[in-house]
């Protein structure tokens, strides 16, 4: 399995599940994605669960405090070499600091940011914890869609903050796709995610990042997730004849997507 020891700035380097039932979440994702749960102390009364694949960190989860009053969610982290500088630059570009930069023990330094269109993400400056330690295998993060009502503003913000590139791609004939098409996100020349067109956006959902997990069989895994208590928001569909995906919410309500390449 491809192991990762360091993440390039601007790449997705960690993900956390905030949930209302940590024990149930551990059971669900372990059964669905093959993760092994490793609990570590988090403060006087909390436990932080690191999900492992091949003994490497793949994700984590924690229990949402009642006073936070937020629904269960998957949170995305983006790598930076300096959390303080990135947070300050984000504010200059119109973002809001949800949580100013702070140290997480000796593991790293982070900040929580709401971009100018309303979506929340975190930045992670790695110290002893690089973040995701495995990629390209079933059960790993493989993509992230950014759902926003203002693609142009979002594009300018992330271009200036992380140096991301954006492209519409080409059709099967090699012609450039029209301006309203799916917009691909590149970091250091590597595709890492995208922004769906307005026609695909759920107008009832706030701006957010949707995380995709790689699996072998989208249909089988979607059925299994449903048997484990998940809600299916979008049943498996095929994209470009060789990709298949579905969108679900886990039993506590955190939304995520499953993704499989078809032969």
pLDDT tens digits, one per residue of 140-188: 999 999 999 999 999 999 999 999 999 987 666 666 677 678 999 999 9
Which residues have C-beta within 8 Å of that of residue 154, sequence separation ≥ 6? Answer: 115, 116, 117, 119, 146, 148, 195
- Backbone dihedral angles phi then psi of residue 218, each to the nearest 5 degrees: -65, -45
Task: Provide mean pLDDT across the span 208-212.
Answer: 97
Largest CA distance in the chain: 59
pLDDT band with cut points at 50, 70 and 90 for residue 199: confident
Q: Kindly provide the residue ranges of all beta strands, DSSP E only, lying in the chain, ordered along the sequence.
A: 12-19, 36-42, 46-53, 56-63, 73-79, 96-104, 108-114, 120-126, 141-147, 165-167, 183-187, 190-195, 208-214, 231-239, 243-249, 255-261
Which residues have C-beta within 8 Å of that of residue 164, sequence separation ≥ 6? Answer: 10, 158, 185, 186, 187
pLDDT in tens, 91-139: 999 999 999 999 999 999 999 999 999 999 999 999 999 999 999 999 9
- CA distance linking residue 73 with residue 214, whole number of Å: 18
Q: Is 114 exposed, middle or buried (0-12, 13-18, 19+ CB in 10 A)?
A: middle
Highest mean pLDDT pick, 9-13, 63-67, 201-205: 9-13
Q: Which CATH architecture has domain 1-263?
A: Roll (3.10)
Separation of first and last alpha carbons in the chain: 20
Query: What does the pLDDT read at residue 174?
Result: 64
**Both structure tokens of 87:** 């947070």
Query: What does the pLDDT read at residue 1?
Result: 53
Task: Provide mean pLDDT across the span 70-84.
Answer: 97
CA dihedral 123, 128, 134, 139 (to 10 degrees): -70
Query: What does the pLDDT read at residue 170?
Result: 67
**Spans of all domains in the chain:** 1-263
Query: What does the pLDDT read at residue 90?
Result: 98
């Amino acid at each position: 399995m491809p192991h990762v020891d360091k993440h390039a700035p601007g790449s997705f380097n960690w993900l956390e599940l905030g949930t209302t039932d940590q024990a149930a979440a551990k059971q669900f994702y372990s059964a669905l994605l093959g993760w092994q749960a490793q609990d570590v102390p988090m403060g006087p009364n909390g436990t932080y669960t690191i999900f492992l694949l091949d003994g490497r960190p793949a994700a984590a989860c924690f229990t949402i405090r009642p006073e936070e009053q937020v629904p269960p969610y998957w949170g995305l982290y983006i790598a930076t070499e300096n959390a303080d500088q990135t947070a300050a630059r984000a504010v200059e570009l119109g973002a809001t600091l949800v949580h100013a930069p702070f140290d997480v023990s000796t593991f790293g330094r982070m900040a929580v940011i709401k971009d100018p269109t309303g979506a929340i993400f975190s930045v992670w400056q790695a110290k002893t914890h690089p973040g995701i330690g495995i990629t390209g295998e079933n059960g790993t993060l493989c993509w992230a869609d950014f759902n926003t009502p203002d693609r142009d503003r979002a594009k300018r913000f992330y271009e200036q903050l992380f140096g991301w590139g954006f492209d519409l791609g080409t059709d099967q004939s090699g012609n450039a796709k029209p301006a309203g098409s799916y917009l691909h996100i590149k970091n250091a020349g590597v595709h890492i995610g995208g922004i769906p067109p307005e026609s695909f956006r759920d107008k009832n959902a706030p701006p957010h990042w949707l995380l995709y997990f790689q699996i072998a069989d989208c249909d089988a895994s979607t059925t299994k997730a449903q048997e484990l208590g998940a809600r299916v928001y979008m049943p498996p569909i095929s994209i470009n004849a060789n990709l298949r995906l579905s969108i679900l919410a886990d039993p506590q309500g955190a939304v995520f997507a499953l993704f499989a390449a078809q032969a």
